[in-house]
Amino acid sequence: MTAQIIDGNALSKQLRTQVAARAQALKIRGITPGLAVVLVGDNPASQVYVRNKVKACEDSGLHSVMEKYESSMTESELLARVDALNNDPNIHGILVQLPLPSHINAQRVIEAISPSKDVDGFHIASAGALMTGMPGFWPCTPYGCMKMLESIGYNLRGKHAVVIGRSNIVGKPMALMLLQQNATVTICHSATPDLKAMTLQADVIVAAVGKRNVLTADMVKPGAVVLDVGMNRDNEGKLCGDVDFEGVKKVASHITPVPGGVGPMTITMLLVNTLEAAERASN
């Protein structure tokens, strides 16, 4: 068996066309959905991510402002900027790029963002909304994974999903989203004694650790669906995920590649959340 590739670029293109159409409908009513992206410091990876987010906004007809600050910016200066953006009617979504310099308390900054503009879905109010099934913004990466499962018509009811990784940004929200769709969910992490014993039981595996070859072919039940959230470099410096793609694709029924899988979906769901924030603000 060779797995079917779930193409994150192709799915993103479809979804971004829908975003552009909904943005256009809002514009006719005099509202341009606006995202503010705040970058503090000169982390090279963050600079690339932020540029990609701003460009994606522009390509879909969303307004975006990028605010760049020196790494010497103080926490109170940043909190003041967040407050100003909370009160700016042209801004519907606020994203403060992480990581922040170590002298700034990232959690305090995230909690300062108005939950109605929390398009990253990192605020405690957003996490609580996801946990309880109330309306709120879902973190973009696991949300993108759910859209990928939806795109292949996958019904999670009664299926066993194994999430590898327990971060607040991916692993934990991913597990809650899968649970909401009636999967039986297992979360594995660095203290799980026998990862392979868990993954071999899984109908769906989400790998979100940030380490190469966390999931190899011998750990996958034939026909399982494998989503790879990892973003790593191999020995030649080439981008790769957490999954041994070449091996696992011979066993899985569906698999996401890296690059071109979950990565573009993360940005797409940021656009969806920003549009949703603007639509909610307009109603």
* Cβ pair 272, 62 in contact under 8 A: no
Burial 238-276 (b: 16+ CB within 10 A, else e): eebbbbbbebbbebbbbbbbbebbbbbbbbbbbbbbbbb
Binding mask 115-134 for ligand GUN (x = CB under 6 A): -----x--------------
Strands annotated E in 80-196: 93-96, 160-164, 184-188
Binding mask 98-117 for ligand GUN (x = CB under 6 A): x-------------------
Strand partners, 39: 68
State the minimum distance, in angstroms, from the CB of residue 1 to ligand GUN: 33
Nearer to ligand GUN, 60 or 97 (CB): 97
Nearer to ligand GUN, 98 or 217 (CB): 98
* Cβ pair 80, 113 in contact under 8 A: no
Nearer to ligand GUN, 120 or 242 (CB): 120
How many other CB atoms are found less than 10 A from the CB of residue 72? 10
Q: Which residues contact 264 (CB under 8 A, 6 or more apart)?
A: 8, 9, 12
- Per CB under 6 A, contacts with ligand GUN among 27-86 are 49
Choose, by CB under 6 A, the member of 40, 96, 185, 198 that binds ligand GUN: 96
Nearer to ligand GUN, 140 or 183 (CB): 140
Catalytic residues: 53, 97, 120
Binding site for ligand GUN (CB under 6 A): 49, 95-98, 120, 140
